[in-house]
């Protein structure tokens, strides 16, 4: 995937992944996902001026997908990597007040490429940059890494969802 000209190529080893901007409880105050669909462990960096966010998902042997995808050789499904990326972007948009009194929904995934397996015991590092950040539509370029190896890359499109009746 060609890198967008507004997206710096950040080496994941240059970031302090032990720092927490938001732990799981703080993520829950912003994102509505629960139980098996909570795909973020922590947010580690948040820079509204640069439209930058980073966080991670710790893949564990207890995750719901391990038993069936694939028995004897469990792999985090690519669709769940994309969902983790979407949750990262939604956290940015909602926590920064770009949308109010609503939640963000996944409007699309563009140009997803998968390059490395993510297995139980791995930490999936997520680095997102906002290409378009607006209350009506957002587009984030997200890269996922295990260590310094890129696992996937995609563009996440987010749209506000009306809640209630």
- In the structure, what pLDDT confidence band is assigned to residue 3 with cuts at 50, 70 and 90? low
Asked whether residue 24 is domain-assigned, the answer is yes
| pLDDT 10s digits, 135-156 | 999 999 999 999 999 999 999 9
Q: How many domains does the chain have?
A: 1
Domain harbouring 45, CATH code: 3.10.129.10
Range of the domain at 97: 17-161
Rounded to the nearest 10°, the torsion over CA 145, 7, 4, 129 is 70
The structure's pTM equals 0.95
Q: Where are the alpha helices (DSSP H) in 19-160?
A: 24-30, 78-95
**Which are the catalytic amino acids?**
69
**Residue 2 covered by a domain:** no
Phi then psi for residue 110, to 5 deg, are -115, 135
Instruction: With respect to residue 121, please indicate whether it lies within any of the assigned structural domains.
Output: yes
């Amino acid at each position: 995937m060609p890198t967008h000209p507004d997206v710096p190529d950040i080496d994941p080893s240059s970031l302090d992944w032990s720092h927490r901007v938001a732990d799981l409880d703080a993520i829950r105050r912003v994102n509505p996902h629960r139980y098996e669909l909570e795909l973020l462990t922590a947010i580690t960096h948040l820079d509204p001026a640069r439209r930058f966010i980073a966080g991670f998902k710790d893949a564990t042997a207890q995750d719901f997908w391990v038993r069936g995808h694939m028995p004897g050789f469990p792999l985090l499904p690519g669709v769940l990597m994309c969902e983790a990326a979407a949750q990262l972007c939604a956290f940015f948009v909602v926590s920064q007040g770009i949308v109010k009194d609503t939640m963000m929904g996944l409007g699309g995934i563009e140009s997803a490429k998968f390059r490395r397996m993510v297995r139980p015991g791995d930490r999936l590092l997520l680095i997102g940059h906002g290409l378009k950040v607006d209350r009506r539509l957002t587009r984030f370029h997200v890269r996922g890494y295990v260590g310094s190896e890129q696992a996937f890359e995609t563009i996440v499109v987010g749209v506000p969802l009306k809640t209630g009746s």
